[in-house]
Amino acid sequence: MTTNEIIKLLSERLGCSQVKAKKTFVATMETFKEIIRKEDIFSLPKYGTFKVKKKKRRKLFNPKKKVYLILPIKNVLSFKPSNIFKNEVKEWRVK
């Protein structure tokens, strides 16, 4: 499913125009970004939490080239689904 399909469905269900639905969609994504910049964590009810995790610097060995690598520090965005969402998903049968 793509974003355009999501916006179409939302406009049908809420009874508003597609332009309005798209504007609010863009605004929500911008607010998510701003929250990540300030707090590094936010959650949506009955869906899950988004969190910025820090990964330490670490050493790797490439067995083909026989060379050691040092990977630098990294920040990664992770998503942890809530328990309700997790249990709902378990028994679905996708094609």
Partner 1 sequence: MNNKVTSEEIFDAIVEKTGNKKVFTNDYIHEFISVVKEGLEKDGKVNVSGLGIFKLNWVGAQNRINPQTGENIKIPAHNKIHFQPEKKMKAFVNREYNHLKPEEIVTKEEKQNKEDIIEDETNVNGDGDNGMPTTSKISTEEDIIKNETNVYGDEDNDIPTISNESTEDIIAEKPSKKFPYIPVFGTLIIIIILFLLFLFFNKKDNKPYSSIPPKLEIVKNKDTAKIKKGKIAIVKDKKEKTGMIKDKKEKISMIKDKKQSSVKKQETMHKETSIIHQVISGNTLWGLANKYYDNAPLWPNIYRKNIETVFNPDIIKSGMSIEVPNLEGTGYNLTKQDSFNIAEGYYLSYLAYKKIGKKKASEFLRIAKRFNTTVEKK
> Which residues of this chain interact with partner 1, rule CB under 8 A?
1-3, 5-6, 9-10, 13-14, 16, 20-21, 23-36, 39-47, 52, 57, 60, 66-79, 81, 85-86, 88-92, 94-95
User: How much of the chain is in helix, strand and coil states, percent to nearest 5?
Assistant: 45, 30, 25
Can you tell me the distance from the alpha carbon of 71 to that of 32, in angstroms, rounded to the nearest whole number?
Answer: 28
Q: Which residue type is seen at 66? A: K
- Nearest approach, Cβ of 18 to partner 1 (angstroms)? 13
Name the residue nearer to partner 1 (CB basis): 18 or 31.
31
Q: Which two tokens stand for residue 32?
A: 């998510």
- Nearest approach, Cβ of 11 to partner 1 (angstroms)? 10
